[in-house]
Chain A
Amino acid sequence: MSRFSICSLAYGCHAAFWSVVILTVTAERLPAVKNILASLSGHHWVSKSIIALLLFFTTAFVFSRRNDPDDLSGLVKGVMVSAAMAALLILAFYVLHYLGMA
């Protein structure tokens, strides 16, 4: 697995996190999307997991030749901010959804 640069794995993380956010919000807003996801694997959550995995490795593969910078702090901070923002967005969406506001 060392064929992947840290940079490519960081991009893979961004792709996986935001695919989960987009698919989650879209599926809750549009039942047709949830049905399509469910029909792909038998359950919408399993489909989201598989899509996130595929996007992670595809993105990492596409950017695998990109060289890492000497200082990885910016890349890692970017991944952590991305994960935190994605998680908070999902939480905020479900709070609003529970309150009937989304």
Chain B
Amino acid sequence: MHFPLIGLHAWLGEFAAVMFVWAFIEMLTGAERNVQRARLATLLGLVLVFAAWLAGGFYYVEIYGAGVKPVIKQGPMPWAHSILMETKEHVFIFLPFLAFLAHEMLKRLSANLPRGVILRKPTQYLLGFLALMTGSMALFGFLVSSGFRAALEQVVL
């Protein structure tokens, strides 16, 4: 039974996406209080996305390759592994680096608010992009799980 681990990976990743959306919304105003809250949200997002990397990585290396991948490839949606999972496992690696960059930019912004007008917009764009990328990974994960479920349904039904 490996569902708790993939559930944990999905929860961590989706919660991280919510944190980046929260930070993005705080940056719409960009007042000192908003920047402090955006910093907190981005730090949480960074920790969550890093934890999702570890949980998903352990699941991928120890369980997915032997137990899930062969089932998906024999099912009606083999592309769920061959295209989506292969893409997801590599693109996911980008997220912690983007989150780290966003967190460092918010640190600079909160320490140097007079420059806020120049720093706020690029930080906001990066947070929006990060939310979009993290959300896309969640969508890919859903489709990979759908490929597994479709393969099992083919056997059971």
Interface residues of A (CB under 8 A from B): 1-2, 4, 6, 9-10, 12-13, 16-17, 20-21, 24, 42-43, 45-46, 48-49, 52, 56, 68, 70-73, 75-77, 79-80, 83-84, 86-87, 90-91, 94-95, 97-98
Contact = CB atoms under 8 A, between A and B. Distances in A.
Given A73-B121, A91-B87, A49 B97 contact: no
Contacts of A86: 91, 94
Interface of B: 53, 57, 60-61, 79, 82-83, 86-87, 89-91, 93-94, 97-98, 100-101, 104-105, 107-108, 115, 118-119, 121-123, 125-126, 129, 133
Contacts of B122: 72-73, 75-77
A88 to B, nearest CB: 9
B93 A52 contact: yes
Contacts of A75: 122
Contacts of B118: 70-73
B100 A9 contact: yes
Given A16-B97, A76-B122, A94-B86, 19 more contacts: A2-B104, A2-B107, A6-B105, A9-B100, A12-B97, A16-B93, A17-B97, A42-B61, A46-B57, A52-B97, A71-B118, A73-B122, A76-B125, A80-B126, A83-B133, A86-B94, A91-B83, A91-B87, A98-B82
A71 B87 CA distance: 33
B104 A9 contact: yes
Contact of B82 (A13, A24, A48, A94): A94
B94 A20 contact: yes
B64 to A, nearest CB: 10
Contacts of B123: 76
A79 B87 contact: no
Contacts of A9: 100-101, 104
Complex A-B, nearest 10 residue pairs according to Cβ-Cβ distance, in ascending order: A76-B122, A98-B82, A87-B91, A94-B86, A91-B87, A73-B122, A94-B83, A43-B61, A72-B122, A80-B129
Contact of B87 (A10, A49, A94): A94
B121 A13 contact: no
